[in-house]
Amino acid sequence: MENTNLKKPEMKIKIHKIYLLASAALVLSGIITGMNMYGFTTLLYLTFLSNIFLAAYFFLSFFLYGKKEVLKSYLLMSVIIAISITALVYNFVIVPFADVAPVFSMNMSFAWNFQNSMTHLFSMLLILANYFIFEKKGLFKIKHVLVSTIFPLLYWLVFITIGSIINFYPYFFMDVPAIGWGMTILWLIIFISVFSFLGFLLFIIDRAMGKKQSTS
């Protein structure tokens, strides 16, 4: 009689690999749809850059499956926080304060709704499901939280600089001429604080789940 207990890890690995590829394809389809609609100007926005980061992570995790776990753990926390902030900022800051349509809108086309819901909601759900269902727990450390702030800081620095040259800022909270340096810096502090808070929260959850996983 075959030992079914030996087959369970192998089956989970196969399912995880399929999930990674399918998730990468879904996220990529949302990115491509958005770029087809708006052109390369989408690359100015944190939404599409964080989704590109996410698609790259899914592909990297597939091709390096079972390897470079420490490196992937840093990328994992960074991408979870980045994509979560993207979803939270869009739904709770951009939509109410910038008079932008919500994730789903009956007044918009199927393509608009698909790319908007994929990049601002479902991408976050995909990476969270990947973490909670498949990934090994207990790898995150405090320094992972610090590393997770690099992505938003780089984005802010690059596009504040570009904005001062081309006089275009992707988001109202980065629009220095409109709101001034004081409010711009305040918004940056708020977002970095939120990134750090979510990072610490994820660290605590990961640590607790890691202890439970090791004792089970």
- Whose tokens are 């199927």? That residue is 110
What's the mean pLDDT in 96-120?
84
Structure tokens at 122: 């479902």
| pTM, entire model | 0.87
- The domain tally of the chain equals 1
Give the model confidence (pLDDT) of 119-148 as tens digits.
999 999 999 999 999 998 999 999 999 999
Mean pLDDT of 178-202: 93
Of 105, 91, 3, residue with least CA distance to 47 = 91
DSSP annotation of 65 reads T
Residue-number span of the structural domain to which 121 is assigned: 4-215
Measure CA of the first residue to CA of the last residue in the chain; give whole Å: 26
How high is the pLDDT of residue 1?
43
Kindly list the distances between the CA atom of residue 42 and the CA atoms of 31, 109, 135, in Å, as whole numbers in the listed order. Answer: 9, 18, 30
Mean pLDDT of the chain: 89
Pairwise CA distance, residues 38 & 23, whole Å = 23
What pLDDT band is residue 216 in, cutting at 50, 70 and 90? low
Q: Rounded CA gap, 20 and 25, in Å?
A: 9
Length of the chain counted residue by residue: 216
